[in-house]
């Protein structure tokens, strides 16, 4: 009986050690989307039911940043090649803004302000291989409904 009690105590102690070591915060679900991110890649499709293709980014496009704030807001500052200033990079006069939230199933959603230029309906956001991936859908005048965009951002800070 005494020997059985010793084995039970050892088993409980070993179980506690393994359980506490196994939950050291390595779970990727706990990675925060908050911070500053820089655009790395962009994908788009030519309308409903067509595959996504990589959209080539200029060095100016790649200066675009996305800041996801702890307050539940986000701000994207877009840059482009401006031919009126000798091909230098120009910044869009209007930032893309909105709110973000984490849903009950652990996914992140971006809700864009009503005055966003593309009239994006919303985005599903995730962390993949350390990068922030934003998938969105909008109605395009040329390509029709359900045109998709995918943006991949690398963490800056």
Quick check: helix, strand or coil at residue 84? helix
Q: Is 131 exposed, middle or buried (0-12, 13-18, 19+ CB in 10 A)?
A: middle
Quick check: helix, strand or coil at residue 7? helix
**pLDDT score, position 37:** 97
Are 100 and 33 within 8 A, CB to CB?
Answer: yes
Q: Which residues of the chain have pLDDT under 50?
A: 1-30
Model confidence pLDDT, tens digit, residues 29-53: 446 899 999 999 999 987 777 889 9
Are 10 and 18 within 8 A, CB to CB?
Answer: no
**pLDDT score, position 145:** 76
**pLDDT score, position 35:** 95
Alpha-carbon gap, residue 67 to 45, rounded angstroms: 25
Question: What is the model's pTM?
Answer: 0.73
DSSP per-residue codes, 8-36: HHHHHHHHHHHHHHHTSS--GGG----EE
**pLDDT score, position 94:** 85
Every domain of the chain and the residues it spans: 27-155
Alpha-carbon gap, residue 135 to 97, rounded angstroms: 16
- How is domain 27-155 classified at the architecture level of CATH? Beta Barrel (2.40)
């Amino acid at each position: 009986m005494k020997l059985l009690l010793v084995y039970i105590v050892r088993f409980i102690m070993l179980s506690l050690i393994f359980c506490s070591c196994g939950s050291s915060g390595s779970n990727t679900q706990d990675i925060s989307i908050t911070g500053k991110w820089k655009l790395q890649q962009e994908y788009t499709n030519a309308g409903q039911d067509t595959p996504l293709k990589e959209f080539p980014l200029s060095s100016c496009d790649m200066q675009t940043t996305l800041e996801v704030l702890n307050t539940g807001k986000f701000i994207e500052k877009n840059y482009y090649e401006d031919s009126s200033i000798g091909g230098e990079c120009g910044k869009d006069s209007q930032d893309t803004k909105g709110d973000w939230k984490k849903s009950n199933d652990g996914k992140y959603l971006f809700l864009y302000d009503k005055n966003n230029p593309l009239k994006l309906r919303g985005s599903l956001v995730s962390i993949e291989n350390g990068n922030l991936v934003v998938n969105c859908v909008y109605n395009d005048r040329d390509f029709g409904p359900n045109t998709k965009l995918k943006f991949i951002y690398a963490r800056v800070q």
